[in-house]
Amino acid sequence: MAAFQTVKGFRDFLPEDCALRNYIFDRWRAVARGYGFVEYEGPLVEPTDLYKKKSGDEITGQLFNFITKGEEDVSLRPEVTPTLARLVAANQRNFSKPLKWYQIGSCFRYEKPQRGRTREFIQFNVDIVGDTNPANADAELVAFSIDTMLAFGFEEGDFVVRLSNRRLWLDFLLENQIADEHSATFLQIIDKMERAPKDVTAKQLEVIGLSVEQVEAHIKRYLDGEAVEAPDSIFAELKADLTARGLWKFVKIDPGIVRGLAYYTGTVFEVFDLKHNLRAIAGGGRYDNLVGHLSDGAVQMSSCGFAMGDVVLTELINRHEIAKGAAEQWKRRHQAPEVYLVIADDSRRAEALGILQQLRRMGIRVDYALNPAKIGKQFQTAESLNARFAVVVGSEYPLLTVKTLRTRDQMEVSAEQLPDKLAGLLSMPESGPLIA
């Protein structure tokens, strides 16, 4: 029997990877709580019907769906927005509006695994549901996406929010008297246009009675700023709000952004890095009809949201000096043992175990050698674990030695004084940079 492998497109998180993942979760939650959002979660498995015709063909073609032992047709969730809409339709009576909700968890798509794309990935979903003024809610959401990037240490010049509005294209279709039935196809063409050869785009547009020149001229009016600066611009309110927050400098109006999913109805945006040409870090927009669709019209709630994945974000953090440094600092502050207990005389093991539990009960992170080992070996382990202090329990018990591992300073302390002494030492900042 060959050794077992991870299923293709799925990931193992060894401790270093998992620590970085936890750091990302911690930052996501910190920003969300700072913005007054509350966390929810749905099941990882949902009825397959929830996605059919709601998420669009691109996603339903990539479903991990199957029949259970109980004959239910279910899917691993490919995205969380339909779950949110289901939850809201069923429970919204119990909450005052608007709901500001976020979620963090795995999603699954059967896509070709490649850089920035895995079959199981983690999404951060942020949504405002039941708002009454779209521009104000959209602005809070775009601000949230920007502050999330800043919270990781990314700066102006590292990333941009490419912002558009689907109505800008629906108005364009109306002006050019293109039938409604073509609008989904048309938006797909715009979505792919940036990466498609021009002649392919031209042929696709021709089928529905449009030319590349007409489309490019419409885009140019926004890229130039002409249509953005107009007082009746579709972006006027959003721009005023984000300008007041000092965040407009991170935004670029770009009609080329339409988003692949079927359910968006207004504002759409994507966050891109500006240096490495990776896939979008985050994307979202307004979806005013989804809750109504999924509740069969029983509950109508205008909504907007965005999702950020962990795969591209992780790659960007690893390539960015400040972001990577912040992650390393977090790991040390939250994970390394504060104290390593060196048992220098194994006949004092019982006393050492008593101290071990006493310190842990105080909330101090303490590790020790599970089995008797030479003193030098125990100190080596303490240093390899990046512990801050060693406490040596030896034949002089109840006299103990406390050693600061970085500076090699040491002092003698009685077992009785140890808890107070350590609490004092741990409350002081470490001298020198946290990262060696």
Segment interacting with a second copy, rule: CB under 8 A, options 134-142, 255-263, 322-330, 407-415: 134-142
Min separation Cβ 131 and a second copy, Å: 6
- 127 assigned to a ligand binding site: yes
What CA–CA distance (Å, rounded) separates 159 from 344?
A: 53
Min separation Cβ 43 and a second copy, Å: 4
Task: Please select the residue that binds a second copy; options are 183, 295, 386, 410, rule is CB under 8 A.
Answer: 295
Q: Which of the residues 21 through 40 are near a second copy (CB under 8 A)? A: 21-22, 30, 33-36, 38-40
Q: Which of the residues 40 through 99 are near a second copy (CB under 8 A)? A: 40-47, 49-50, 64, 66-70, 72, 74, 76, 86-87, 89-91, 96, 98
First to last CA, the chain: 44
Task: Please select the residue that binds a second copy; options are 190, 294, 311, 422, rule is CB under 8 A.
Answer: 294
Per the DSSP assignment, residues forming a β-bridge with 327 are none
- 109 assigned to a ligand binding site: yes
| 46 or 191: CB nearest a second copy | 46
Q: Count residues binding a second copy (CB under 8 A).
A: 101
Q: Decide: is 349 part of the binding site for a second copy (CB under 8 A).
A: yes
Answer whether 234's CB lies under 8 Å from 165's CB: yes
Q: Decide: is 18 part of the binding site for a second copy (CB under 8 A).
A: yes
Q: Which of the residues 201 through 260 are near a second copy (CB under 8 A)? A: 240-241, 243-247
| 88 or 308: CB nearest a second copy | 88
Sort 215 into a burial class: Cβ within 10 Å, 0-12 / 13-18 / 19+: buried
Task: Please select the residue that binds a second copy; options are 131, 158, 191, 310, rule is CB under 8 A.
Answer: 131
Segment interacting with a second copy, rule: CB under 8 A, options 250-258, 312-320, 377-385, 423-431: 377-385
Torsion sign across C-alpha atoms 68, 73, 79, 84: negative
Q: What phi-psi label fits residue 36: left (phi over 0), alpha (psi between -120 and 50 degrees) or beta?
A: left
Min separation Cβ 228 and a second copy, Å: 19
| 201 or 302: CB nearest a second copy | 302
Give which of 15, 4, 22 is closest to 314, Cα–Cα: 22
Q: Which helix (H) or strand (E) holds 123?
A: strand 120-129
Type of residue found at 269: F
Give which of 228, 218, 227 is closest to 256, Cα–Cα: 218
- 264 assigned to a ligand binding site: yes
Give which of 290, 326, 306, 319 is closest to 153, Cα–Cα: 326
- 263 assigned to a ligand binding site: yes
Answer whether 143's CB lies under 8 Å from 34's CB: no
Answer whether 209's CB lies under 8 Å from 178's CB: yes
User: Tokens 């950020």 correspond to what residue?
Assistant: 308
Min separation Cβ 352 and a second copy, Å: 8
Q: Decide: is 414 part of the binding site for a second copy (CB under 8 A).
A: no
Q: Decide: is 136 part of the binding site for a second copy (CB under 8 A).
A: yes
Q: Decide: is 290 part of the binding site for a second copy (CB under 8 A).
A: no
| 73 or 224: CB nearest a second copy | 73
- 81 assigned to a ligand binding site: yes
- 80 assigned to a ligand binding site: yes
What CA–CA distance (Å, rounded) separates 322 from 286?
A: 33
Token reading at 406: 């970085």
The DSSP symbol for 96 reads P
Q: Decide: is 436 part of the binding site for a second copy (CB under 8 A).
A: no
Q: Decide: is 423 part of the binding site for a second copy (CB under 8 A).
A: no
Q: Decide: is 267 part of the binding site for a second copy (CB under 8 A).
A: no
Give which of 284, 281, 291 is closest to 317, Cα–Cα: 281
- Of the CA atoms within 13 Å of residue 323, those in its CB half-sphere come to 21
Residue ranges at the known binding site for L-histidine: 79-81, 109, 123, 127, 259, 263-264
